[in-house]
Structure 1
Amino acid sequence: MIIAIDFDGTIVEQKYPRVGKEIPFATSTLKMLQEKGHQLILWTYRSGKELDDAVEFCHSKGLEFYAINKNYPEEIFEGNISRKIKADMYIDDMNYGGLPDWGEIYLNITNPNNNKSKEKKRKKGLARIFG
């Protein structure tokens, strides 16, 4: 699975343009996902020195990304090409409901049965609302 991960508020506390403290278990969880074969893309608003700082922070924790703000490492952005990242999943603190605990994120990605149970609950909730 290709997973795009935001930096500020997701891997580290929101302190932009500074690098905040690591959110507990963020980098260790991401490294475990890589060990399971998932490709990780750092997907952040940061650029220039601020992006370099974020990448260096991740490197210092032993976390390397498949690509950074790109779909693949060799991609070159031109004015007429969308910067939207193609991924199977996006992890971002700005999701509806906020950022779940990194343990919950890991279980949701690695345990497909957990996701099926949540989907059934969601459908039941929608049925109650829309009858």
Structure 2
Amino acid sequence: MIIAVDFDGTIVEHRYPQIGKEKLFAFETLKALQKQGHLLILWTIRTGKELDEAVEFCAKNGLEFYAVNKNFPEEKFDESVSRKINADIFIDDRNVGGFPGWGEIYQMLSKEVSENERELFLSRFKKAERKTFCGFIKSLFCKQ
């Protein structure tokens, strides 16, 4: 799979423009997913010096990305084309339902987890996500 990963709030705590503290198990999980053959794209709002610092921080922690803010390494950024990345999965702290944590992400995506374990986990995650989303919707439209 091609996995697009956000930086601030996902790999590290959100301290933009500084680099926050590493999120628990972020680098271990991402490196394990790479070992399984997944391609990782760093997908972040950072540009220029801040982007270079993020890429360097990840490299110092043993994580090299397939591409950074683009679909493939050789791609040239063209402002007439959307910056949306062509990925199978996006890992971001701004997901509906919030960021589940790197341990849970590993369980969802790892080839080392059995299909039954993955289905059980995903059903639990979907129920929790639905409950959170439904609670949010109710708070918007229902009198309390």
**TM-score, normalization by structure 2:** 0.80
Alignment of structure 1 residues 80-119 onto 2, 5 Å: 80-110=80-110, 111=113, 112-117=115-120, 118-119=122-123
3-state DSSP class of the match of 1:51?
helix
Give the root-mean-square deviation of aligned CA atoms: 2.1
Identity among equivalent positions (%) equals: 60
3-state DSSP class of the match of 1:83?
coil
Following the alignment from structure 2 to structure 1, what is the Cα–Cα distance between the partners of residues 125 and 35?
Answer: 30
Residues 84-110 of structure 1: per-residue CA shift (max 9 Å, x gap): 001000000000111112111001002
Which moves more between the two structures, 113-122 or 41-50?
Answer: 113-122
**TM-score, normalization by structure 1:** 0.87
Residues 11-68 of structure 1: per-residue CA shift (max 9 Å, x gap): 0000000000000110111000000000000000000000011001000000000000
The number of equivalent residue pairs is 126
Following the alignment from structure 2 to structure 1, what is the Cα–Cα distance between the partners of residues 11 and 124?
Answer: 29
Following the alignment from structure 2 to structure 1, what is the Cα–Cα distance between the partners of residues 4 and 125?
Answer: 26
Q: 1:93 to 1:48 in 2, by over 3 A?
A: same
Tell me, yes or no, if structure 1 residue 57 matches structure 2 residue 46: no
Q: 1:116 to 1:53 in 2, by over 3 A?
A: same
Segments of structure 1 that go 5 or more residues without pairing to the other structure are: none
Following the alignment from structure 1 to structure 2, what is the Cα–Cα distance between the partners of residues 86 and 115?
Answer: 24
